Amino acid sequence: MAGISGLGEVMQLAFVPDDFDAAVEHWTKTMGVGPFFLMEGIHLEGMKYKGKPTDAVFDLALAYWGDIQIELIRPRDSHPSIYTGEYAEVGGGLHHVCILVDDIEEARRECGEQGAEIVIEGALGDSKVIYVDPGQGPGHLVEILQQGEGGPGLFAMIKQAGVGWDGNEPLRSLG
Protein backbone atom coordinates (compact mmCIF):
# COMPACT_ATOMS: atom_id res chain seq x y z
CA MET A 1 0.00 0.00 0.00
CA ALA A 2 1.25 3.48 -0.85
CA GLY A 3 0.15 5.40 2.23
CA ILE A 4 -3.34 6.85 2.57
CA SER A 5 -3.68 7.40 -1.19
CA GLY A 6 -3.28 3.65 -1.64
CA LEU A 7 -6.63 3.14 0.07
CA GLY A 8 -8.59 4.51 -2.89
CA GLU A 9 -9.20 7.32 -5.33
CA VAL A 10 -10.77 10.63 -4.38
CA MET A 11 -14.46 10.49 -5.28
CA GLN A 12 -15.72 13.58 -3.47
CA LEU A 13 -14.86 17.22 -2.77
CA ALA A 14 -16.61 18.59 0.33
CA PHE A 15 -17.24 22.14 1.50
CA VAL A 16 -18.66 23.73 4.68
CA PRO A 17 -19.83 27.09 3.33
CA ASP A 18 -20.64 30.03 5.58
CA ASP A 19 -23.86 30.52 3.59
CA PHE A 20 -25.30 27.15 2.59
CA ASP A 21 -28.07 28.54 0.37
CA ALA A 22 -25.65 30.83 -1.48
CA ALA A 23 -23.32 27.86 -2.02
CA VAL A 24 -26.15 25.77 -3.49
CA GLU A 25 -27.01 28.69 -5.80
CA HIS A 26 -23.36 29.09 -6.85
CA TRP A 27 -22.87 25.40 -7.58
CA THR A 28 -26.17 25.03 -9.46
CA LYS A 29 -26.30 28.33 -11.38
CA THR A 30 -22.68 29.35 -11.90
CA MET A 31 -21.06 25.93 -12.02
CA GLY A 32 -24.04 24.07 -13.52
CA VAL A 33 -23.71 21.21 -11.04
CA GLY A 34 -26.87 19.62 -9.76
CA PRO A 35 -29.38 18.82 -8.71
CA PHE A 36 -28.31 18.58 -5.08
CA PHE A 37 -30.02 16.04 -2.84
CA LEU A 38 -30.47 17.22 0.74
CA MET A 39 -30.26 14.99 3.82
CA GLU A 40 -31.22 16.85 7.00
CA GLY A 41 -30.62 16.24 10.69
CA ILE A 42 -27.81 13.71 10.38
CA HIS A 43 -26.20 12.42 13.56
CA LEU A 44 -23.76 9.58 13.14
CA GLU A 45 -24.34 6.58 15.37
CA GLY A 46 -21.57 6.30 17.93
CA MET A 47 -20.18 9.64 16.73
CA LYS A 48 -16.92 10.63 18.35
CA TYR A 49 -14.85 13.77 17.89
CA LYS A 50 -11.21 13.19 18.80
CA GLY A 51 -12.21 10.06 20.71
CA LYS A 52 -15.00 11.65 22.77
CA PRO A 53 -18.74 11.24 22.13
CA THR A 54 -20.45 14.22 20.50
CA ASP A 55 -24.05 15.06 19.72
CA ALA A 56 -23.24 17.09 16.59
CA VAL A 57 -25.99 17.24 13.98
CA PHE A 58 -25.56 18.42 10.40
CA ASP A 59 -27.24 18.57 7.00
CA LEU A 60 -25.59 17.67 3.73
CA ALA A 61 -26.37 18.06 0.08
CA LEU A 62 -24.87 15.86 -2.65
CA ALA A 63 -24.57 16.31 -6.42
CA TYR A 64 -22.16 15.17 -9.12
CA TRP A 65 -19.82 17.07 -11.39
CA GLY A 66 -19.05 14.30 -13.86
CA ASP A 67 -17.59 11.49 -11.78
CA ILE A 68 -16.75 13.70 -8.78
CA GLN A 69 -19.30 14.04 -6.01
CA ILE A 70 -19.73 17.54 -4.55
CA GLU A 71 -20.86 17.71 -0.93
CA LEU A 72 -22.10 20.83 0.86
CA ILE A 73 -22.39 20.58 4.65
CA ARG A 74 -24.40 22.74 7.05
CA PRO A 75 -23.77 22.27 10.79
CA ARG A 76 -26.97 22.44 12.84
CA ASP A 77 -25.40 23.12 16.24
CA SER A 78 -22.15 23.99 17.98
CA HIS A 79 -21.37 20.55 19.42
CA PRO A 80 -17.74 19.55 18.84
CA SER A 81 -17.15 18.32 15.30
CA ILE A 82 -15.09 18.96 12.19
CA TYR A 83 -17.89 21.24 10.96
CA THR A 84 -17.41 23.80 13.74
CA GLY A 85 -14.27 25.12 15.40
CA GLU A 86 -10.74 24.71 14.08
CA TYR A 87 -11.52 22.32 11.22
CA ALA A 88 -14.26 24.57 9.83
CA GLU A 89 -11.87 27.51 9.41
CA VAL A 90 -11.27 27.05 5.69
CA GLY A 91 -12.92 30.26 4.47
CA GLY A 92 -15.48 28.41 2.36
CA GLY A 93 -12.74 26.50 0.56
CA LEU A 94 -12.20 22.77 0.32
CA HIS A 95 -12.95 21.13 3.67
CA HIS A 96 -12.18 17.49 2.90
CA VAL A 97 -11.96 14.85 0.22
CA CYS A 98 -13.54 11.41 0.43
CA ILE A 99 -12.37 7.98 -0.62
CA LEU A 100 -14.34 4.74 -0.60
CA VAL A 101 -12.91 1.58 0.94
CA ASP A 102 -14.03 -2.01 1.32
CA ASP A 103 -12.56 -2.43 4.83
CA ILE A 104 -12.71 0.50 7.28
CA GLU A 105 -10.54 -1.34 9.82
CA GLU A 106 -7.77 -1.83 7.27
CA ALA A 107 -8.04 1.90 6.45
CA ARG A 108 -7.89 2.75 10.17
CA ARG A 109 -4.68 0.69 10.53
CA GLU A 110 -3.06 2.32 7.48
CA CYS A 111 -3.95 5.80 8.73
CA GLY A 112 -2.44 4.95 12.12
CA GLU A 113 0.75 3.74 10.45
CA GLN A 114 0.95 7.05 8.59
CA GLY A 115 0.41 9.08 11.77
CA ALA A 116 -2.97 10.43 10.66
CA GLU A 117 -5.21 11.40 13.57
CA ILE A 118 -8.82 10.18 13.51
CA VAL A 119 -10.86 13.29 14.25
CA ILE A 120 -14.39 11.98 13.60
CA GLU A 121 -15.79 8.47 13.48
CA GLY A 122 -19.24 6.96 13.41
CA ALA A 123 -21.83 5.13 11.35
CA LEU A 124 -24.90 5.98 9.33
CA GLY A 125 -26.94 2.82 9.12
CA ASP A 126 -24.59 0.10 7.90
CA SER A 127 -22.11 2.63 6.44
CA LYS A 128 -19.00 3.31 8.52
CA VAL A 129 -16.88 6.44 8.31
CA ILE A 130 -13.72 7.96 9.71
CA TYR A 131 -12.27 11.38 9.01
CA VAL A 132 -8.52 11.67 9.40
CA ASP A 133 -6.15 14.59 9.66
CA PRO A 134 -2.91 13.48 8.00
CA GLY A 135 -1.03 16.41 9.51
CA GLN A 136 -1.94 19.69 7.86
CA GLY A 137 -5.06 20.65 9.80
CA PRO A 138 -8.09 22.48 8.38
CA GLY A 139 -8.81 21.82 4.72
CA HIS A 140 -6.63 18.74 4.60
CA LEU A 141 -9.00 16.18 6.05
CA VAL A 142 -9.69 12.85 4.38
CA GLU A 143 -13.04 11.15 4.80
CA ILE A 144 -12.83 7.37 4.49
CA LEU A 145 -16.16 5.69 3.87
CA GLN A 146 -17.09 2.03 3.86
CA GLN A 147 -20.49 2.14 2.20
CA GLY A 148 -23.35 0.08 3.45
CA GLU A 149 -25.69 -1.89 1.24
CA GLY A 150 -27.73 1.11 0.03
CA GLY A 151 -24.81 3.50 -0.58
CA PRO A 152 -23.86 2.58 -4.15
CA GLY A 153 -27.47 2.75 -5.32
CA LEU A 154 -28.03 6.13 -3.67
CA PHE A 155 -24.88 7.60 -5.20
CA ALA A 156 -25.80 6.18 -8.61
CA MET A 157 -29.28 7.75 -8.41
CA ILE A 158 -27.82 11.16 -7.51
CA LYS A 159 -25.26 10.93 -10.30
CA GLN A 160 -27.90 9.89 -12.86
CA ALA A 161 -30.13 12.83 -11.86
CA GLY A 162 -27.37 15.18 -13.02
CA VAL A 163 -27.18 13.69 -16.52
CA GLY A 164 -28.90 16.21 -18.80
CA TRP A 165 -30.21 18.15 -15.77
CA ASP A 166 -32.18 21.20 -16.93
CA GLY A 167 -31.75 23.36 -13.83
CA ASN A 168 -35.17 22.56 -12.33
CA GLU A 169 -35.43 21.78 -8.63
CA PRO A 170 -31.79 22.56 -7.80
CA LEU A 171 -32.22 21.33 -4.20
CA ARG A 172 -34.25 18.17 -3.61
CA SER A 173 -35.01 16.51 -0.30
CA LEU A 174 -34.06 12.91 0.32
CA GLY A 175 -36.57 12.88 3.17
Whether residue 46 contacts residue 25, with contact meaning beta carbons closer than 8 Å, is answered with no
pLDDT at 9 over 80: yes
Maximum Cα interatomic distance, the chain, rounded to a whole number of Å:
47
Whether residue 74 contacts residue 38, with contact meaning beta carbons closer than 8 Å, is answered with no
Model confidence over 24-79: pLDDT tens digits?
999 999 999 999 999 999 999 999 999 999 999 999 999 999 999 999 999 999 99
Model confidence over 116-150: pLDDT tens digits?
999 999 999 999 999 999 987 777 899 999 999 98
pLDDT of residue 107: 96
| Domains of the chain in sequence order | 4-167 (3.10.180.10)
CA–CA dist 86, 169 (Å, integer): 34
pTM: 0.95
CA–CA dist 22, 11 (Å, integer): 24
